[in-house]
Chain A
Amino acid sequence: MIMMITGLLLILAGVSIMLYRKEILRMIIGFTVVDTGIHLVIVAIGYVKGGTAPIIDKAVSAAPPAMAGVKALTRVVDPIPSALVLTAIVIGLAVTGLMLAYAVRLSKYGNSTDISDYEEQKW
C-alpha cells in the first residue's frame, strides 16, 4: 500500500515538474521521476502477502523440480510485473539517453535549453 501511494505521488510530482519547468533538462528529470513512480506502482501490483522473490530454490521449496513450483505457490510474489519492470527500466534508460542526446543537439543549435527560446518552432 505504501509503495503504491509513493509511486502515485512520484508520478504526480514528475508530471508537475514536466508542466511547470521550461528547461529541457528539468523536463527530462521529471520524466525519469514519472518512470520511477510507474515502476513502483507495477511492483506494488505484483506483491503477494508474505511473498519472497520468485526464485524457486531450496529456501522456498525443497521438492524435486517437477513439484517445486506447486509448493512455492504461496511463498513467492507475482513474477510477471517483475519481468515487466525489468523491461521498463532498460527502455527508460534508453529513452532518457535519447532525450539527453536530443537536448545536447538542441543546445548546440540554439545555445539554450529553455524551450521558450525556440519561439519560431511553435505551431
Chain B
Amino acid sequence: MLKVSNISKSYENVQALNDISFDLRKGELFGLIGPDGSGKTSLFRILATLLLSDKGQVLFEGRDIVQDYRYVRNNVGYMPGRFSLYQDLTVRENLEFFATIFNTSFEKNKHLIEDIFKQLEPFQSRKAGDLSGGMKQKLALSCALIHKPTVLLLDEPTTGVDAISRKEFWQMLQRLKEEGMSILVSTPYMDESKLCDRIALIQEGKLMGVDKPSEIVASFDKCVYQIKGEQLYNLLSKLRSMEDIESAYPFGSSLHVYAATGLDLKSNIESLFPEVNVQVDVIEPDIEDTFMNLMTSKDG
C-alpha cells in the first residue's frame, strides 16, 4: 500500500529523519515504536502529504505521493498526535464536518464506524472539548475513518490515555485490520508493539530494525536476569558496579539485568553482598528490553 524509500528530513541543524525505508502491506497493522522526538511525527506528516521530505520517495498504491497528493488525501485517513478536532463543535457536528469536507455525508458512511460510534452515541451532542481523553481518541479515530480511507495513519493515538481505554482502542484497530484496512500506528508504549503484525523501532530519526515483534525480540543478543527481592532500589547501584553486568534497570516490581549467558548471578550477588536476599531467574526478553538494549549499544 505504502512504499517508503530512503526518506530524510532536516530542520535547521536537526536531522529529524535519516534514510528511512519500509513498506506497509495491505491489511497490515504496522507499529512505529519510539519515544517523543524520535522523528515519528515528521514521518507521519510526510506520509499525509503535509510536509515535503528532503530526500527519498513514497509510493501509495504505486503513485508518487508528492505528484498525486490529492489522490493520497482522498484515500488516506490521518489522525494527528495533537487533538485536532473542533473543541467547540459537538461530537456529531465534528463527524458531519469531516464527512462534508470529503464530499460524503455522515449518514452515508456511518456503517464504517458503527462499532466505535456506538460508544460515542450517548455523548453525540456533547462538545468535543468536554469529552474525556479516551472518548476524544475514539472521536478522532471516527473522523479519520469517515471518508472510507484504505490506509490509516495514527500518530500516537494512545499517549496520555489510561490503560483501559488503550486496550479498547487497540481492539478497535484489530477489527479495522480484519476488515482489510492497512494501518500505520506510532506509540511510545512498548507493550503495544506486541499487538502489531510488524514493527519498526525508531530512535533519533533512524530505524533500528523492521520485523515481526517476535523476530525483533529474538535479535536480543544477551541474557535477561530477573531479580526479585526486597530493597531492590538499593541493590540497583550495587549491581551496576559489578563487573560482569552490562546494565541493570527497574522493571515494575523486579529488576532486569543484562549480561552474558550462563552467569551464576545469585551466587555472585550473595558473595559480594551477603546481606542481600534475592531470587534470580533467567527470563525471555520483551520488546522493552530489546529497545533499551538497542538504544544503549548504539551509544556505546
**A and B: bona fide binding partners:** no
> Which residues of A line the B interface, CB within 8 A?
none
> Which residues of B line the A interface, CB within 8 A?
none
